[in-house]
Amino acid sequence: MPERLGPPLKEPLFERVAIIGLGLIGSSIIRAARQLNLARDLVAVDANEAVLARVRELKIADEVTADAAVGVRDADLVILCVPVGACGVVARAMRGGLKAGAIVSDVGSVKASVMAQVEPHLPDGVHFVPAHPVAGTEHSGPDAGFSTLFHNRWCILTPREETDEAATGRVRAFWEAMGSNVEVMSAQHHDLVLAITSHVPHLIAYNIVGTAADLETVTQSEVIKFSAGGFRDFTRIAASDPTMWRDVFLHNKEAVLEMLGRLNEDIALLARAIRWGEGDKLFDLFTRTRAIRRGIISEGQDAAEPDFGRRRQG
Amino acid sequence: MPERLGPPLKEPLFERVAIIGLGLIGSSIIRAARQLNLARDLVAVDANEAVLARVRELKIADEVTADAAVGVRDADLVILCVPVGACGVVARAMRGGLKAGAIVSDVGSVKASVMAQVEPHLPDGVHFVPAHPVAGTEHSGPDAGFSTLFHNRWCILTPREETDEAATGRVRAFWEAMGSNVEVMSAQHHDLVLAITSHVPHLIAYNIVGTAADLETVTQSEVIKFSAGGFRDFTRIAASDPTMWRDVFLHNKEAVLEMLGRLNEDIALLARAIRWGEGDKLFDLFTRTRAIRRGIISEGQDAAEPDFGRRRQG
């Protein structure tokens, strides 16, 4: 996984890009856009004064404002980087400032709900190209961002059939410039794919960490001490931003519950195999799952080193 | 996490140590023992000819044999590093070679079952000090081992009350020399603690990877592509050795099923909160789980860097 950005563009892709929400994702986009010269002007919009102050200190934006309608003025690209549940409110707040022909995009982990929230607020002549960069870390806030976050990661676009193709093409170019591979699919299919590759894993991780914390027979200190047996891998994603994840589950309810139902059926089968000592069934599953891991490594979506390459010597 | 071994001992702790089973754990022990001068002679025993040939090539043992009874002859410490389900068979095979006063230990992830399997085969005057180093990677075999695997990890000893204290002390010293922190507890408590910190996480990881592979609405290629959303973290432990893990579940059946039952109850609550849009319940859990992650990092049981420190720039 070479994690390196290319050289800056000679001519920026956009004149003025406004990023709304300067958390992990928003602050990573603004850093990458600046480093790669993707926009002549970069505007940071955030409703949180502490975040804005920090963005000023970090000097990662050309302009900084708490007012969405002011921030998006004259922008040819606006990217909503707020929790999925806040997209409708932010769209309404900024609508007065949007110029004709502007492209609005987002980075939400759920697409159908975001489209339903945002579209009613957009004036005619503004193009909405929903996007979801499948990248992140367990850390949050403007200090957590870094310019290579999207490098060699997938970014999924879910435009409607009637969406302006040129607008979709410009959003695609923006993400490709940051090193992402871009795929286009329907919002409905996106929400199903992400339910299994991201939402349910997070839910299960939060859940197992919660279950462990509540045991009366095993102390929390024991759980922490002996976490290297596998548990600690779950705690990483269970440390992700609570607001973002609450919104993901509430806004992708059907797909998450459907995938969770399937998972539960499979867990019941496994529990039964354990109860009845059916070692062959366990062995078959445990062999099959290795192949998926190999696929992920050969596609460059994870480190091949043991333990994700956690530092070691020897 | 400084991953460095100390200087070699001036005088070895044991004259002759036999390691039975040269997989990830056995080959890591033999490498560490050699590097630290923990034994004057190191004997490698493995029933698999291909493994023995590889151990010879790697030159990590002083003697190499397929015959357990021959391998343990004159050893003052014998460590079983075979899958949990094979411990009884191996104990029976080696019993004729054990010398009086020898210490037998193991590295199994389940303790009550291993003790029940091994103890009937040990002659009087041989001490059994069961051990479980809580360390590992998803890789298997003699090439996967490395001498720092146990550094800053916990090793749990589960001797019986009547076990010779000097024998327990010598096994403790052996693990401490390899950089481990040692804790003593009952086999029953060990099996409960590990069920939640290791066994159930592995089962859930295997399960979710299996569920994802079986979907008819999402292709395997999509699961792989978009795994960076969280799924890939589960695939690491779902790539662990299938034989070892089959045995763990079959031999820690009660504790695993008990923990799995609790997990299922908690999943049902979460699913209900999602279905009814109870965002506060989700938010509370997701906030609580961050604290456990912080505990694991502050206790040095994981990397604080985002993404476990997977390589990146920027």
Indicate the Cα dihedral angle A273, B242, A230, B249, nearest 10°. 30
B 189-218 residues with CB < 8 A to A: 192-194, 196-215, 217-218
Q: Among residues A133, A152, A185, which one ends one of the domains?
A: A185
**B56 touches A: beta carbon within 8 Å:** no
Mean pLDDT of chain B: 95
What's A198's DSSP letter? Answer: I
B126 and B205 belong to one structural domain: no
Contact B228 A149 (CB under 8 A): no
ipTM field: 0.93
Positions of E strands within B56-193: 63-65, 77-80, 103-106, 127-129, 131-133, 154-157, 181-184
Domain assignment present for A35 = yes
Domain assignment present for A287 = no
Domain assignment present for A194 = yes
A156 and A205 belong to one structural domain: no
Contact A194 B3 (CB under 8 A): no
In chain B, what percentage of residues exceed pLDDT 90?
94
Q: How confident is the model at residue A1 (pLDDT cuts 50, 70, 90)?
A: very low
A178 and A266 belong to one structural domain: no
Residue B209: list chain A partners with CB under 8 A.
289, 292-293
Q: Among residues B129, B158, B186, which one ends one of the domains?
A: B186
Contact A307 B308 (CB under 8 A): yes
B20 and B149 belong to one structural domain: yes
**A286 touches B: beta carbon within 8 Å:** yes
Closest CA to A22 of A152, A180, A144: A144
Domain assignment present for B313 = no
Q: How confident is the model at residue B311 (pLDDT cuts 50, 70, 90)?
A: low
Q: Among residues B133, B151, B186, which one ends one of the domains?
A: B186
A244 and A113 belong to one structural domain: no
Characterize the bridge pairing of strands B103-106 and B77-80: parallel
Domain assignment present for B61 = yes
A229 and A171 belong to one structural domain: no
- Give the range of the structural domain holding residue B254, as residue numbers without chain letter: 189-304
Contact B307 A309 (CB under 8 A): no
pLDDT of residue A5 exceeding 90: no
A181 and A193 belong to one structural domain: no
CATH of the domain at A166: 3.40.50.720
Contact B230 A302 (CB under 8 A): no
Tokens of B78: 């014998």
Determine the average pLDDT of the residues in B42-55: 98
CATH of the domain at A217: 1.10.3660.10
Residue A203: list chain B partners with CB under 8 A.
267, 270
Cα distance from A165 to chain B (closest Cα, Å)?
Answer: 24
Domain assignment present for B310 = no
Give the 3-state secondary structure of residue B182. Answer: strand
A30 and A84 belong to one structural domain: yes
The number of folded domains in chain B is 2
Question: What is the structure's pLDDT at A269?
Answer: 96
Contact A197 B222 (CB under 8 A): yes
* Residue A37: alpha-carbon gap to chain centroid: 23
Domain assignment present for A281 = no
A43 and A176 belong to one structural domain: yes
B170 and B228 belong to one structural domain: no
A197 and A164 belong to one structural domain: no
A172 and A31 belong to one structural domain: yes
Determine the average pLDDT of the residues in A241-270: 97
- Quote the crossing angle between the two packed helices B200-214 and A200-214, to the nearest 10°: 160
Domain assignment present for B217 = yes
pTM confidence score: 0.93
Contact A224 B299 (CB under 8 A): yes
